Structure 1
Amino acid sequence: MLYGAAIPSINLTGLTQLKKITVTLSQGAAIDLTNKPLLEELFIAGEFGIGGVSTLDVTQNPVLKHYGLMTVAPIPLM
């Protein structure tokens, strides 16, 4: 879990064993979830009042069971 102010980007490269992530992202932030085959739970909050990540590709996360997106703008899932 990453708490505090919204962050502009997050680099998860090399964390192939990652199972859960909770993060608050700032507007237009980037998050790369490729090569995360064990990711089961994802929660992303957008920066209050202006939203967060604009798109989210979870096609390479075969065991993703739970995800939550909290933002003021709609987020298309690919």
Structure 2
Amino acid sequence: MAFEQLRAQIAMLMDEIADRPGDEHELQESLREKLAEMKALGLPLPADLVAFEAALEDDLETDPSENIYPDARPQGA
């Protein structure tokens, strides 16, 4: 039963991520918590969600100006 509840909660989180792109950090933390909960219960972690969480982490670490002004980066960067 816990597995199905966590899957439903993760599905709702994914919908929130799609609907609220400005709240990525908060939603990433929620996703990370759900994955940790699954791991603590000994449940398998869905590889696609683990990869998605890692991609969110990479996006949050990227300087936003690199996405807005890609040609404004100093030469050699």
Greater share of residues in strand = 1
TM-score, normalization by structure 2: 0.34
Higher Rg of the two aligned structures: 2
Alignment TM-score, normalising by the size of structure 1: 0.34
Structure whose residues are more often helix by fraction: 2
